[in-house]
Amino acid sequence: MSNILILGAGTWGVAIAELLNKNGHKVTCWSRNKDLIKELSINHSHPKLKDVTLSVDVNYTTEFEKSFIGKDVIIYAVPSTGFREVVHKSMNFVNDTQYFVSLTKGMEDKTLYTMSEIIFEELKIAGINSDKVVVLSGPTHAEEVGKGLPSMIVSASANEIHSKYIQDVFMNENFRVYTNVDVKGVEICAAFKNVIAIASGILTGLGYGDNMKAAVITRGLAEMIRVGDALGCKKETFYGLAGVGDMIVTATSTNSRNFNFGKYLGLGDKTDEALKKIGMVVEGINFLPKAIQIIDKYNLDLPITNGVNEIVYNNMDAKYITSLLMKRSKKAE
Protein backbone atom coordinates (compact mmCIF):
# COMPACT_ATOMS: atom_id res chain seq x y z
CA MET A 1 0.00 0.00 0.00
CA SER A 2 1.27 3.48 -0.89
CA ASN A 3 0.52 6.83 0.70
CA ILE A 4 -0.44 9.09 -2.21
CA LEU A 5 -1.03 12.82 -2.66
CA ILE A 6 -2.99 14.17 -5.62
CA LEU A 7 -2.56 17.88 -6.28
CA GLY A 8 -5.73 19.00 -8.04
CA ALA A 9 -9.35 18.09 -7.40
CA GLY A 10 -10.76 18.45 -10.88
CA THR A 11 -12.69 15.57 -12.43
CA TRP A 12 -9.56 13.67 -13.45
CA GLY A 13 -7.80 14.10 -10.11
CA VAL A 14 -10.88 12.96 -8.20
CA ALA A 15 -11.50 10.01 -10.53
CA ILE A 16 -7.90 8.88 -9.99
CA ALA A 17 -8.32 9.34 -6.24
CA GLU A 18 -11.27 6.93 -6.37
CA LEU A 19 -9.29 4.42 -8.42
CA LEU A 20 -6.29 4.49 -6.09
CA ASN A 21 -8.49 4.27 -3.00
CA LYS A 22 -10.15 1.14 -4.40
CA ASN A 23 -6.66 -0.26 -5.01
CA GLY A 24 -6.06 -0.07 -1.26
CA HIS A 25 -3.84 3.00 -1.14
CA LYS A 26 -4.17 5.84 1.34
CA VAL A 27 -5.11 8.89 -0.74
CA THR A 28 -5.12 12.61 -0.02
CA CYS A 29 -6.47 15.05 -2.62
CA TRP A 30 -5.57 18.76 -2.40
CA SER A 31 -7.16 21.84 -3.93
CA ARG A 32 -7.06 25.54 -3.07
CA ASN A 33 -10.80 25.69 -3.84
CA LYS A 34 -12.36 25.64 -0.35
CA ASP A 35 -15.95 25.26 -1.58
CA LEU A 36 -15.03 22.29 -3.75
CA ILE A 37 -13.11 20.59 -0.94
CA LYS A 38 -16.10 21.10 1.37
CA GLU A 39 -18.42 19.52 -1.21
CA LEU A 40 -16.08 16.56 -1.68
CA SER A 41 -15.53 16.04 2.06
CA ILE A 42 -19.10 16.42 3.30
CA ASN A 43 -21.32 15.30 0.41
CA HIS A 44 -18.83 12.93 -1.23
CA SER A 45 -19.68 14.23 -4.68
CA HIS A 46 -18.04 16.30 -7.40
CA PRO A 47 -20.23 18.85 -9.23
CA LYS A 48 -18.84 17.73 -12.60
CA LEU A 49 -19.05 13.98 -11.83
CA LYS A 50 -22.72 13.80 -10.99
CA ASP A 51 -23.08 10.04 -11.57
CA VAL A 52 -20.09 9.10 -9.40
CA THR A 53 -20.54 8.47 -5.67
CA LEU A 54 -17.22 9.12 -3.97
CA SER A 55 -15.69 7.03 -1.22
CA VAL A 56 -15.59 8.38 2.34
CA ASP A 57 -12.00 7.09 2.69
CA VAL A 58 -10.27 9.72 0.53
CA ASN A 59 -8.99 12.71 2.48
CA TYR A 60 -9.70 16.07 0.82
CA THR A 61 -7.78 19.12 2.02
CA THR A 62 -6.80 22.72 1.30
CA GLU A 63 -3.69 22.50 3.49
CA PHE A 64 -0.80 22.39 1.07
CA GLU A 65 2.29 21.87 3.23
CA LYS A 66 0.76 19.30 5.61
CA SER A 67 -0.58 17.22 2.71
CA PHE A 68 2.98 16.15 1.74
CA ILE A 69 3.83 14.52 5.08
CA GLY A 70 4.59 10.81 4.71
CA LYS A 71 3.68 10.56 1.02
CA ASP A 72 5.29 8.00 -1.31
CA VAL A 73 3.81 9.29 -4.57
CA ILE A 74 3.07 12.90 -5.58
CA ILE A 75 0.57 13.22 -8.43
CA TYR A 76 0.10 16.50 -10.30
CA ALA A 77 -3.41 16.87 -11.73
CA VAL A 78 -3.67 20.65 -12.14
CA PRO A 79 -4.26 22.50 -15.46
CA SER A 80 -1.19 23.13 -17.62
CA THR A 81 -1.48 26.90 -17.15
CA GLY A 82 -0.83 26.57 -13.41
CA PHE A 83 1.38 23.50 -13.53
CA ARG A 84 4.75 25.20 -13.04
CA GLU A 85 3.46 27.21 -10.08
CA VAL A 86 2.21 24.14 -8.20
CA VAL A 87 5.29 22.04 -9.00
CA HIS A 88 7.60 24.87 -7.92
CA LYS A 89 5.72 25.34 -4.65
CA SER A 90 5.77 21.61 -3.96
CA MET A 91 9.56 21.43 -4.15
CA ASN A 92 9.76 22.86 -0.62
CA PHE A 93 8.11 19.72 0.77
CA VAL A 94 9.30 16.76 -1.35
CA ASN A 95 12.38 14.50 -1.34
CA ASP A 96 14.28 12.15 -3.64
CA THR A 97 12.60 9.00 -2.33
CA GLN A 98 9.21 9.98 -3.73
CA TYR A 99 7.69 9.34 -7.16
CA PHE A 100 6.39 12.27 -9.19
CA VAL A 101 3.52 11.58 -11.60
CA SER A 102 1.97 13.97 -14.14
CA LEU A 103 -1.66 13.57 -15.21
CA THR A 104 -1.66 16.93 -17.02
CA LYS A 105 -1.69 17.26 -20.81
CA GLY A 106 -0.09 20.25 -22.49
CA MET A 107 3.08 22.31 -22.85
CA GLU A 108 4.44 25.44 -21.21
CA ASP A 109 4.42 28.89 -22.80
CA LYS A 110 7.74 30.15 -24.21
CA THR A 111 9.84 27.16 -23.07
CA LEU A 112 7.61 24.61 -24.85
CA TYR A 113 8.46 22.21 -22.03
CA THR A 114 6.22 19.23 -21.47
CA MET A 115 4.90 18.66 -17.96
CA SER A 116 7.54 16.05 -17.13
CA GLU A 117 10.27 18.43 -18.29
CA ILE A 118 8.92 21.07 -15.92
CA ILE A 119 9.09 18.59 -13.03
CA PHE A 120 12.66 17.61 -13.92
CA GLU A 121 13.76 21.24 -14.12
CA GLU A 122 12.15 22.13 -10.80
CA LEU A 123 13.73 19.09 -9.13
CA LYS A 124 17.13 20.20 -10.43
CA ILE A 125 16.63 23.79 -9.26
CA ALA A 126 15.62 22.52 -5.81
CA GLY A 127 18.70 20.29 -5.64
CA ILE A 128 16.63 17.11 -5.45
CA ASN A 129 18.47 14.23 -7.14
CA SER A 130 15.68 12.10 -8.59
CA ASP A 131 14.64 10.60 -11.92
CA LYS A 132 11.42 9.12 -10.51
CA VAL A 133 9.20 11.08 -12.89
CA VAL A 134 6.35 9.29 -14.65
CA VAL A 135 3.65 10.42 -17.08
CA LEU A 136 0.19 8.80 -17.22
CA SER A 137 -1.79 9.31 -20.42
CA GLY A 138 -4.25 7.50 -22.62
CA PRO A 139 -7.93 7.13 -23.64
CA THR A 140 -9.44 7.64 -20.20
CA HIS A 141 -12.43 9.88 -19.50
CA ALA A 142 -12.75 10.80 -15.84
CA GLU A 143 -16.47 10.00 -15.93
CA GLU A 144 -15.79 6.36 -16.84
CA VAL A 145 -12.75 5.83 -14.62
CA GLY A 146 -14.67 7.30 -11.68
CA LYS A 147 -17.40 4.70 -12.20
CA GLY A 148 -14.85 1.89 -12.39
CA LEU A 149 -15.57 1.08 -16.05
CA PRO A 150 -12.80 -0.85 -17.85
CA SER A 151 -10.11 1.49 -19.20
CA MET A 152 -6.51 1.40 -20.45
CA ILE A 153 -3.68 3.91 -20.01
CA VAL A 154 0.08 4.30 -20.50
CA SER A 155 2.70 4.77 -17.76
CA ALA A 156 5.73 6.43 -19.35
CA SER A 157 9.19 7.01 -17.92
CA ALA A 158 12.70 7.02 -19.37
CA ASN A 159 13.52 4.51 -16.62
CA GLU A 160 11.32 1.45 -17.12
CA ILE A 161 11.69 0.51 -13.45
CA HIS A 162 9.79 3.67 -12.51
CA SER A 163 7.03 3.21 -15.11
CA LYS A 164 6.51 -0.35 -13.88
CA TYR A 165 6.30 0.80 -10.27
CA ILE A 166 3.51 3.23 -11.15
CA GLN A 167 1.92 0.52 -13.30
CA ASP A 168 1.63 -1.63 -10.18
CA VAL A 169 0.24 1.26 -8.11
CA PHE A 170 -2.56 1.99 -10.58
CA MET A 171 -3.42 -1.31 -12.20
CA ASN A 172 -6.44 -3.42 -11.28
CA GLU A 173 -8.93 -5.69 -13.02
CA ASN A 174 -10.69 -2.70 -14.63
CA PHE A 175 -7.67 -0.44 -15.20
CA ARG A 176 -5.01 -1.88 -17.50
CA VAL A 177 -1.72 0.01 -17.49
CA TYR A 178 0.87 -0.37 -20.25
CA THR A 179 4.44 0.98 -20.02
CA ASN A 180 6.43 3.12 -22.46
CA VAL A 181 9.89 4.73 -22.40
CA ASP A 182 9.07 7.37 -25.05
CA VAL A 183 7.99 10.03 -22.57
CA LYS A 184 8.22 12.91 -25.05
CA GLY A 185 6.10 11.04 -27.59
CA VAL A 186 3.42 10.24 -25.02
CA GLU A 187 3.23 13.88 -23.93
CA ILE A 188 3.17 15.24 -27.50
CA CYS A 189 0.27 12.90 -28.26
CA ALA A 190 -1.54 14.05 -25.12
CA ALA A 191 -1.25 17.71 -26.06
CA PHE A 192 -1.89 17.63 -29.81
CA LYS A 193 -4.86 15.25 -29.77
CA ASN A 194 -6.88 17.93 -27.96
CA VAL A 195 -6.55 20.22 -30.97
CA ILE A 196 -7.77 17.46 -33.28
CA ALA A 197 -10.69 16.86 -30.91
CA ILE A 198 -11.69 20.53 -31.20
CA ALA A 199 -11.57 20.17 -34.99
CA SER A 200 -13.76 17.06 -34.82
CA GLY A 201 -16.24 18.93 -32.65
CA ILE A 202 -16.32 21.86 -35.08
CA LEU A 203 -17.14 19.56 -37.98
CA THR A 204 -19.87 17.89 -35.93
CA GLY A 205 -21.35 21.26 -35.00
CA LEU A 206 -21.35 22.20 -38.68
CA GLY A 207 -23.63 19.23 -39.29
CA TYR A 208 -21.19 16.94 -41.05
CA GLY A 209 -21.35 13.19 -40.57
CA ASP A 210 -19.09 10.33 -39.61
CA ASN A 211 -17.11 10.55 -42.85
CA MET A 212 -15.54 13.86 -41.93
CA LYS A 213 -15.06 12.88 -38.31
CA ALA A 214 -13.08 9.81 -39.42
CA ALA A 215 -11.15 11.92 -41.92
CA VAL A 216 -10.11 14.58 -39.40
CA ILE A 217 -8.95 11.92 -36.92
CA THR A 218 -6.89 10.19 -39.62
CA ARG A 219 -5.37 13.41 -40.96
CA GLY A 220 -4.91 14.63 -37.40
CA LEU A 221 -2.84 11.55 -36.66
CA ALA A 222 -0.64 12.42 -39.65
CA GLU A 223 -0.12 15.90 -38.20
CA MET A 224 0.80 14.50 -34.78
CA ILE A 225 3.34 12.14 -36.36
CA ARG A 226 4.96 15.05 -38.24
CA VAL A 227 5.43 16.81 -34.91
CA GLY A 228 6.78 13.64 -33.33
CA ASP A 229 9.29 13.18 -36.15
CA ALA A 230 10.50 16.77 -35.71
CA LEU A 231 10.96 16.28 -31.95
CA GLY A 232 12.64 12.88 -32.14
CA CYS A 233 9.77 10.77 -30.81
CA LYS A 234 9.07 7.14 -31.65
CA LYS A 235 6.45 6.68 -34.37
CA GLU A 236 5.06 3.57 -32.66
CA THR A 237 3.91 5.74 -29.73
CA PHE A 238 1.52 7.63 -32.01
CA TYR A 239 -0.11 4.39 -33.18
CA GLY A 240 -0.71 3.22 -29.62
CA LEU A 241 -3.01 4.03 -26.71
CA ALA A 242 -1.31 7.36 -25.96
CA GLY A 243 -1.69 8.47 -29.59
CA VAL A 244 -4.51 7.24 -31.79
CA GLY A 245 -6.27 5.64 -28.82
CA ASP A 246 -6.51 8.86 -26.83
CA MET A 247 -7.34 10.87 -29.93
CA ILE A 248 -10.28 8.64 -30.87
CA VAL A 249 -11.93 8.93 -27.46
CA THR A 250 -11.27 12.67 -27.19
CA ALA A 251 -12.40 13.43 -30.73
CA THR A 252 -15.62 11.41 -30.69
CA SER A 253 -17.10 11.44 -27.19
CA THR A 254 -19.60 13.86 -25.68
CA ASN A 255 -17.63 13.41 -22.44
CA SER A 256 -14.78 15.31 -24.08
CA ARG A 257 -14.51 19.01 -23.21
CA ASN A 258 -12.42 19.67 -26.31
CA PHE A 259 -14.92 17.97 -28.60
CA ASN A 260 -17.88 19.75 -27.01
CA PHE A 261 -16.09 23.10 -27.16
CA GLY A 262 -15.45 22.58 -30.87
CA LYS A 263 -19.07 21.58 -31.43
CA TYR A 264 -20.26 24.87 -29.96
CA LEU A 265 -17.90 26.71 -32.31
CA GLY A 266 -19.35 24.77 -35.24
CA LEU A 267 -22.84 25.73 -34.11
CA GLY A 268 -21.87 29.40 -34.31
CA ASP A 269 -20.66 30.33 -30.82
CA LYS A 270 -17.57 32.47 -30.35
CA THR A 271 -14.70 31.20 -28.21
CA ASP A 272 -15.80 32.95 -25.00
CA GLU A 273 -19.39 31.77 -25.42
CA ALA A 274 -18.34 28.18 -25.99
CA LEU A 275 -15.98 28.24 -23.01
CA LYS A 276 -18.73 29.53 -20.77
CA LYS A 277 -20.97 26.64 -21.78
CA ILE A 278 -18.24 24.09 -21.03
CA GLY A 279 -17.54 25.58 -17.60
CA MET A 280 -14.22 23.74 -17.19
CA VAL A 281 -10.65 23.99 -18.48
CA VAL A 282 -10.33 23.15 -22.19
CA GLU A 283 -6.67 22.18 -22.55
CA GLY A 284 -6.74 22.31 -26.34
CA ILE A 285 -7.21 26.08 -26.19
CA ASN A 286 -4.26 26.48 -23.84
CA PHE A 287 -2.10 24.36 -26.12
CA LEU A 288 -2.89 26.04 -29.45
CA PRO A 289 -0.37 28.94 -29.11
CA LYS A 290 2.37 26.40 -28.34
CA ALA A 291 1.34 24.33 -31.36
CA ILE A 292 1.74 27.39 -33.59
CA GLN A 293 5.20 27.99 -32.10
CA ILE A 294 6.16 24.41 -32.99
CA ILE A 295 4.80 24.83 -36.52
CA ASP A 296 6.87 27.97 -37.02
CA LYS A 297 10.02 26.58 -35.38
CA TYR A 298 10.11 23.39 -37.45
CA ASN A 299 8.31 24.67 -40.58
CA LEU A 300 5.62 22.00 -40.35
CA ASP A 301 2.55 21.57 -42.53
CA LEU A 302 -0.32 21.19 -40.04
CA PRO A 303 -3.49 22.53 -41.72
CA ILE A 304 -5.93 21.21 -39.12
CA THR A 305 -3.97 22.76 -36.27
CA ASN A 306 -3.66 26.07 -38.14
CA GLY A 307 -7.36 26.05 -38.96
CA VAL A 308 -8.45 25.45 -35.38
CA ASN A 309 -6.15 28.23 -34.20
CA GLU A 310 -7.65 30.70 -36.70
CA ILE A 311 -11.19 29.84 -35.60
CA VAL A 312 -10.44 29.93 -31.86
CA TYR A 313 -8.20 32.99 -31.68
CA ASN A 314 -8.89 35.01 -34.83
CA ASN A 315 -12.68 34.59 -35.14
CA MET A 316 -12.45 32.85 -38.50
CA ASP A 317 -15.70 31.27 -39.66
CA ALA A 318 -15.98 27.63 -38.54
CA LYS A 319 -16.25 26.45 -42.15
CA TYR A 320 -12.69 27.63 -42.69
CA ILE A 321 -11.42 24.29 -41.42
CA THR A 322 -13.47 22.49 -44.07
CA SER A 323 -11.78 24.47 -46.84
CA LEU A 324 -8.35 23.56 -45.44
CA LEU A 325 -9.19 19.88 -45.24
CA MET A 326 -10.62 19.72 -48.76
CA LYS A 327 -7.79 21.69 -50.37
CA ARG A 328 -5.25 19.67 -52.31
CA SER A 329 -1.75 19.95 -50.82
CA LYS A 330 1.33 20.58 -52.93
CA LYS A 331 3.36 18.54 -50.47
CA ALA A 332 3.45 14.75 -50.21
CA GLU A 333 0.30 13.43 -48.57
Q: How far apart are CA 92 and CA 35, in angstroms?
A: 26
The reported pLDDT for the residue numbered 50 is 85
- What whole-number percentage of the chain has pLDDT above 90? 94
Percent of the chain with pLDDT over 70: 98
What pLDDT sits at residue 333? Answer: 57
Taking residues 233-246, report their average pLDDT: 97
Give mean pLDDT, residues 81-92.
Answer: 97
Residue 300 vs residues 43, 229, 306, 322: alpha-carbon distances, Å: 49, 10, 10, 19
Q: 3-class SS at 135?
A: strand
The DSSP symbol for 117 reads: H
What is the mean predicted confidence (pLDDT) over 29-50?
A: 95
In contact, 319 and 206? CB cutoff 8 Å: yes
Q: What is the dihedral of CA 169, 29, 186, 115, to 10 degrees?
A: -130
Average pLDDT, the chain: 95
Taking only the tens place, the pLDDT of each residue in 287-307 is: 999 999 999 999 999 999 999
Q: How many CB atoms lie within 10 A of CB 282?
A: 24
Q: Cα separation of 58 and 131, whole Å?
A: 28
Q: Which domains are delineated in the chain? A: 3-181 (3.40.50.720), 191-326 (1.10.1040.10)
Phi, psi of 18 (to 5 degrees): -60, -45
The catalytic position among 105, 132, 184, 193 is 193
Rounded to an integer, the average pLDDT of 105-120 is: 95
Supply the pLDDT for residue 110. Answer: 87
Which string of b and e fits 289-311 if b means at least 16 CB within 10 Å? Answer: ebbbebbeeeebebbbbbbbbbb
Q: Model confidence at 106, in pLDDT bands (50, 70, 90)?
A: very high
> pLDDT at residue 332 above 60?
no
132-171 pLDDT, tens digit each: 999 999 999 999 999 999 999 999 999 999 999 999 999 9
Examine the residue annotation and report whether 193 is marked as an active-site residue of this protein.
yes
pTM of the shown model = 0.94
- Confidence band of 51 (pLDDT split at 50, 70, 90): confident
- Mean pLDDT check: name the lowest of 41-50, 96-105, 189-198: 41-50
Type of residue numbered 114: T
Please give the order of strands across the beta sheet that includes 175-180: 59-61, 26-30, 3-7, 73-76, 99-102, 133-137, 151-156, 175-180
The count of other CB atoms within 10 Å of the CB of residue 3 is 14
pLDDT at 331 over 70: no
CB 40 within 8 A of CB 33: no
pLDDT at position 120:
98
pLDDT at 43 over 80: yes
More confident residue, 7 or 323: 7
